[in-house]
A and B are shown apart, each in its own frame.
Chain A
């Protein structure tokens, strides 16, 4: 982790929906290779911030710089994806009509080179590429330990596994930056441990930078390198987990005090 090298900078982001101010003057930096957690009460603007980073929402003011390049105001989400940002969603956004394998294969879409005619013939170059993509996807499937459900239509999978498949789809894109929106929501202790292990392995083995929104403070404390706290669309604290945990503003707004 190199403190000198933020791969993403969001500066002074203002985001409003009609009369609702979702974010006000929020600035964050994400350093290469770190796991950054965004926490805060519901409605604080955490998902909105992720959506801005993703290019889904266009902020009224502020700028986003990714990999040293300032982003165009009217950038489309697929261009952002092409630049190397991948994402999972709060309400699992898998393609319910397809199998696990196919869903994760769609994550490889940005890396497909063969054209329409090639694929129509399904021989030679297209076939080799399809096999190569399949090999890479199988590595992701191995990594996430979801081999048995490869051919299962994702609509039939339990929630926890769906979230894992979604993570797989994001990983398959080989992103520089991975945005995870409540990846542990709805999971039991075991599943959370598995997921935490995966996220840490993603950082270790693949060197992918992660930003995650998370409510489980135990998980946040355990796996994140730094934490950003939002409340009512404002950034109220930032720093290492320990420092944030003892920050009075954060305690007032969100964490509360343990009563003995």
Chain B
């Protein structure tokens, strides 16, 4: 018993302090993983902000986008063409989803829409597998994988590039949202659907736009994940992992998705490396969720989320 207690409350901290370089590497590794999570979470936030729908299918969209890209490349198309075509496919998908799922369910409660996106998840998984096959695929887009040293710590070039890509993505989205008319319209729709239609904002165009952007974000995330660990079906499970990220960051905040992702990424890695051995390993399976749950008890709306005041 005392062994267990020491292992939980003493040894990890001792390890951290006595091996700061290694700790730094673990943290950086966690940050990088967190960046990947953030990219997936971004797609969720976009769609939720603009249509109030929690798109459970975002994870499978990441997979689907990556599958399409790889599938095209496997058939011999050059990278640039595959990228364009894959983007096109995601935009087409957005159209299809708006027409077949969102429009018929336009006045339903959020729960129904959530269920619909769960159904969509299964549907897209099946289609993806059907069209492109179910074996793991390698995605090679020429990103270097070697590591180099920073302040004595080993940093992986690939992960650094992933972080940069995420940063660019967030900056682009923030610009889009704040500076352009479309961005303004999106914010109006997010605030109040009916009011937005009343001032002439075309709801359907907005939805297609948002889902297309989310689809492109999914493509970028898919490329990053796919290049790192191959394009395979566990990718769609990322949707579940994105949930704790969204809890921490709030469902409606783009910076929140980033911060949340980073916190979860670092938290998971550190917990696994330093506390994992003491209680049996594979803590990563549940740590993020428990962390999110504990967090929720103190801040039921996440770090950056909006508090919904219920008026009676």
Contacts and interface: CB of A to CB of B under 8 A. Distances in A.
- Asked whether any CB of A lies within 8 Å of a CB of B in the complex, the reply is yes
A89 interface: yes
Interface size class of A (residues with CB under 8 A): under 10
Contacts of A91: 311-312
A180 to B, nearest CB: 14
Interface string A60-97: 00000000000000000000000000000101010000
Contacts of B311: 91
A157 interface: no
Majority secondary structure of chain B interface residues (helix, strand, loop or mixed): loop
Contacts of B312: 51, 56, 89, 91, 93
Interface in B277-312: 311-312
Nearest to B311: A91
A88 to B, nearest CB: 11
A89 B311 CA distance: 10
Contacts of A51: 312
B149 to A, nearest CB: 51
A51 B311 CA distance: 11
Interface string A34-60: 000000000000000001000010000
A51 B312 CA distance: 9
Interface in A223-259: none
Interface in B231-288: none
Nearest to B309: A17
A93 B311 CA distance: 10
A56 B311 CA distance: 11
B308 to A, nearest CB: 15
Contacts of A56: 312
Contacts of A93: 312
A78 to B, nearest CB: 14
B108 to A, nearest CB: 14
B187 to A, nearest CB: 23
B164 to A, nearest CB: 41
Nearest to A93: B312
Interface string A84-124: 00000101010000000000000000000000000000000
Interface in B26-67: none
A91 B312 CA distance: 7
B49 to A, nearest CB: 24
A56 B310 CA distance: 11
Interface in A162-205: none
A91 B311 CA distance: 9
A89 B310 CA distance: 13
A13 to B, nearest CB: 18
A93 B312 CA distance: 7
Nearest to A89: B312
A76 to B, nearest CB: 15
A121 to B, nearest CB: 32
B39 to A, nearest CB: 36
A89 B312 CA distance: 7
A222 to B, nearest CB: 28
A96 to B, nearest CB: 11
A98 B123 CA distance: 33
A24 B285 CA distance: 53
A141 to B, nearest CB: 25
B110 to A, nearest CB: 15
Nearest to A181: B312
A50 to B, nearest CB: 10
A56 B312 CA distance: 9
A244 B312 CA distance: 29
Q: Give the 6 A-B CB pairs with smallest separation, nearest first.
A: A89-B312, A93-B312, A56-B312, A91-B312, A51-B312, A91-B311
6 contacts: A51-B312, A56-B312, A89-B312, A91-B311, A91-B312, A93-B312
